[in-house]
Amino acid sequence: MTRILGICGSLRANSYNRELLAVLGRFFPDDVSFSIFDAVDVPVFNADLEVDGDPPSVSALKEAIAKADLVVFATPEYNGSIPGSMKNLIDWASRAPDPLKGKPAAIIGGTTGRFGTAHAQMMLRHILVYMNCPLLPGMIAFAHLRDSFDGMTLTDEAISGRLEKAAGAMLDWVAKVGSESQA
C-alpha cells in the first residue's frame, strides 16, 4: 500500500490549502492511504525542547513523515514566501532522526490573490532540495481561490481536474523514485 501524507502550511481551520489537500486525497485509488497531518499543536522550533525528547506533536510529525512514501506540502503564500508554520514543520522534521531527508515530495498551493503561490513554491522547493527530497517536477499553483469555493467546498471543476491529474502524477512519481532507489 502506498502511503501519502499531506502537510498544510496554514494553521487556519478553514484553510483553502487544507481543502485542496482534502480534494486531492479523493482522487487517489483505494489502495493508497492518504492522510493530512494536523500541525496545530506543533510548537515553534526550539532546540531546548529536544533535551528531554521531542514534544509529542513533533514525534507524531516525524513518525507520519517516516511512514509516508510521499509527502505533499500545501503552502499558502504570505508576503511572497512560505508561512512561518511551514518552515517550522520542516525545521522540526529535519532534526534527528531526520525523516524528511531524501523523502519524495510534491508541492501544491493556492491563494486568494492573483499570483497563486509561485513565490512560496519556489522558496519551499529551495528548502526541500536542500533536504535532498526528490521533488515532483512542475508547479501546481492556484490563484483566486475565494472565487473557486462555496464556503469551504471546492466548486471549480478546472481545479478539480488539475488536482486529479496531480494525484496521478504523484503516484507515478512515487513509483519512479522508488524504482530508481532500488536500482
- pLDDT, position 105: 98
144: nearest Cα among 167, 112, 116: 112
pLDDT tens readout for residues 130-178: 999 999 999 999 999 989 999 889 999 999 999 999 999 999 999 999 7
Q: How confident is the model at residue 67 (pLDDT cuts 50, 70, 90)?
A: very high
Region 15-25: mean pLDDT is 96
Q: For domain 2-182, give the fold.
A: Rossmann fold (3.40.50)
- pLDDT, position 115: 80
Region 23-40: mean pLDDT is 97
* Angle of CA points 133, 137, 138, to nearest 5°: 130
With a pLDDT cut of 70, the percent of the chain lying above it is 98
Residue pair 152/114 in contact by the 8 Å Cβ criterion: no
pLDDT tens readout for residues 75-93: 999 999 999 999 999 999 9
Residue pair 141/118 in contact by the 8 Å Cβ criterion: yes
- pLDDT, position 116: 86
Q: Alpha-carbon distance 48 to 119, whole Å? A: 32
